[in-house]
Structures are given as C-alpha cells and as structure tokens.
Amino acid sequence: MDEVLETAVEAGHILLESGAEIFRVEETMKRISRYYGVDEDHKEFFVLANGLFASGKTEKGHYAKVLQSRVQSARLSRVVAINQLSRQIEQGKYTLPEARRELERIRNTPEPPKLLQILASGFGSAAFCVMLGGDFQDTLVSFIAGLLLYVFVLFVANPHMSKISGNLIGGMIVTVVCLLCQKISLGHSLSHMIVGGIISLVPGLSFTNGIRDIADGDYISGAVRLLDAIIVFVSIAVGVGIVFTVYRHIWGGATL
Amino acid sequence: MTLLVHFIAAAVGTVAFALIFDVPPRYYGLCALIGGGGFLLIEILMDLGLSQTEATFIGTMFVALASRICAVWRKCPVTVFLVAGIIPLVPGSRVYWTAYYLVMQDMGRAFDNGFLAIRVAIAIVLGIVLVLEIPNRLFHREKR
C-alpha cells in the first residue's frame, strides 16, 4: 500500500514540476492509486501549484507525505510521458515495480540541448519580428538579441537569479542590444526589434495554466500562476523602461 | 503575400516556443499549423474591420478548439498544443508601447495601450475558458 501511494505521489510530483495543470496532477494520482487497489476513502491528495500533500491509511498504519515543488522550466515531454504511462497502467500493462522504474526514467529524461534552445529563441524572436512587420534588418537584430537573451537566461538567470531580476535584466539586455544596433544604423523599427527580441521571456505556460486552473476551480493555484505571469510580464516591461530612461538622460530628451 | 509570410513566421515562432517548452518533436507539425492558423485568422479578421480585441477572442477560440481536437486525436494533454499556439496572440507590442509611453511621460497614450493590452488579455482568457468548458464527450463523438 505504501508503495502504491509512493508511486502515485512520485508521478504527481514530476507532473507538478514539469508544468501540468492541478486537475491533471490530482487525476493522475487518483488513477494510479485506484488501479493498484487503494480505494477512494483510504487516501486523500491535495495539490497546490507549489506543493503536494498526500495521506492514506494502510495495513501497517498511516502514510503521509508532503513535497515542495517549484516549476523551474516547462518540461511538457514529461507531462506527455506520464499521461501515457497512466493510461497504460490502467490497461494493465505495468506492474508496480515496472511503473516505478518507468517514472524514474521519465524523471531523468534530459531537457533539449542548450544550444538548440538558444537557437529556438533566436528564430522565435526573428519570427515574431517578421509577424509585427519588421524588415530584414530588424529581423536580423531581433535574431541576435534573442540568441544573446537566451544565453543569459540559461547560464545566468535560471541557475542564479530570482524571476524578477532575471526577467528585468533580460528585458534590459534586449533593449541595450537593439539600441546599440540602431546606433550603428542596423535596423529601423526599434519597437519591432525589441518586442521580437523579448518574446522568449513571455510567460506562456504560467498564463495558460493559471487560466485553466481557475476554470477548473483551483483558485489558489490559478491565482499563484497568474500572479507569476503578471510579475514576469511587468519585470520585462520595467527592464525595457529602465534602459529607455537611462538613454534619455544620457542623450537628452532624444526621441527613440 | 504578406499573409503567407506572416503565417510562416507565426508557424516558425510557435515551433520555436514548442522547443523551449520541451514539447516532443512529433507534435511540432500540428503546433505550427495551430499557431500559424490562429495568427492568420486574426490578421484576416482585422483586415475585415474587427478590433484587435474581437479578432483575438475569435483567434483564441480557434487555437483552443484546434488544440482540443488534436489532443483527442493524438491522445495527449491539450497543453502541448495550447501553450505554444497561444503565444502569437499575446499583445506584446501593446505592453511595449505602454512601457515606452510611460517612460516618455505621455500618460494618455500609455493608458490607451495598457488598457488595450488588458482587454486583449481578457479576450484570450475568455476564449480559452469557453472552449475548455465544452464537455469532453463531444470531441470523442466527433472522432468516431
């Protein structure tokens, strides 16, 4: 029994840390424990955006576990893998030890190579610049800004900084790069370059999950995730604004 | 011609985000179609005279609906398609201009842009919520 709850909790914890909705985390934990024979009134799970509580009654006594979690970065491939695993468990394709081994494997799947992520950020920025109507030079500057930004995000901000300062400085870096390029007359439309450049900071996952959690009635987690999205958005805007303010003071009231 | 270029750009942008969110590569194609399609739809609607808020609302419904259909079809969480597909609809420029005019101390324009950004964000929220409320079995019946 302990083993079953332990497995369910492990699956829930991976889901929570990879950026799944609260509803999915709870549902998966219930499914797994139901299949392996822990019935409804012998257990209780409580999941929040930043933590997970489980308790149950077993033949040996009581089971209880509290786990903290912090979403580091979106890892949707793990959400997909566990979703599939829980389906297959219900079809009877996994014994308990096999399921645990599979969970261990899913937890250890590597994230996409850093170089690829940096390139994706560059191409993403370039693509958004095109969508906004930027010309070839604008797009090139956006591409460079997107690359540099993600080098900073992966090697400095994510491991060492809070979300507020990471996104604020990220916004500043992009703005500085774009202003410098404009100074050497590369690129024409500053707004297209900058909006394209910062796009990979946009908190898409927290925003969408926050909305979904609130729609499911998980108000606390939804509010936490939406707050996270708003803080990130405001931090980026403040970062851009700071550079503009400094620039204006140095070059007088120059219009940008 | 511009529409085609924008569609391709939106598709590329969506796939770039899918990679950053670690979506499994086998779903990239569908992500590209959903993200590109949503953005294209908004552009066409705005050309037809709809406001950015209205167009974004309809575009979001399209993205959310397409994501749900694909999720049922490919048997995977809807998040996989929804998260990346929604990014091209985010009112990034409005937020930028809000910050810009705030710094330039042009409060009128800062307010206009900020308010529009909030309205577009609410349109996205409503679009997602309404489509996700549709009961699951409707999608399963559609499949058979």
In this predicted structure, what is the pLDDT of residue B143?
Answer: 46
Contacts of B15 in chain A (CB under 8 A): 120
Q: pLDDT at residue B142 above 60?
A: no
| pLDDT interval class at B133 (50, 70, 90) | confident
Domain segments of chain B as ranges = 2-90+132-143
Judged by CB atoms within 8 Å, which residues 111-130 of B form the interface with A? 124-125, 128-129
pLDDT at residue A253, rounded to an integer: 59
The DSSP bridge partners found for residue A51 are: A48, A68
Rounded Cα–Cα distance for residues B139 and A210 (Å): 23
Please give the DSSP secondary-structure letter assigned to residue A42: G
User: Which stretches within A36-95 are classed as H helix?
Assistant: 76-90
Partner A, chain B 18-57, Cβ-Cβ below 8 Å = 19-24, 39
Taking contacts as CB-CB distances below 8 angstroms, the residues of chain A near B39 are 131
Q: Of A87, A107, A131, which to mutate for an interface test with B (greatest number of B Cβ within 10 Å)?
A: A131
Residue that the structure tokens 């324009």 belong to: B109
A162's tokens? 């809070």
State chain A's mean pLDDT as an integer.
90
pLDDT at A252 (0 to 100): 67
Determine the pLDDT at residue A243: 93
For the stretch A215-224, pLDDT in tens is 889 999 999 9
At A20-79, the pLDDT tens digits run 999 999 999 999 988 888 777 778 899 998 899 998 887 778 888 999 887 667 899 999
Mutation target vs B (from A179, A194, A211, A248; most B CBs, 10 A cutoff): A211
| Average pLDDT value over all residues in chain B | 91
User: Could you tell me if B131 and B61 are in contact, meaning their C-beta atoms sit under 8 angstroms apart?
Assistant: yes
Please say whether the beta carbons of A213 and A25 come within 8 A: no
* pLDDT 10s digits, A148-176: 999 999 999 988 899 999 999 999 999 99
Q: What is the pLDDT of residue A188?
A: 87
Please indicate whether, in this complex, the C-beta atoms of A208 and B86 are within 8 angstroms of each other: yes
Q: What is the pLDDT of residues A231-244, one digit of tens each?
A: 999 999 999 999 99
Contact B20, A127 (CB under 8 A): no
pTM summary value: 0.89
Contact assignment for A191 to B102 by CB distance below 8 Å: no
CB-based contact A237 B98, cutoff 8 Å: yes
Q: How far does B142 lie from chain A, in Å, by closest CA?
A: 21
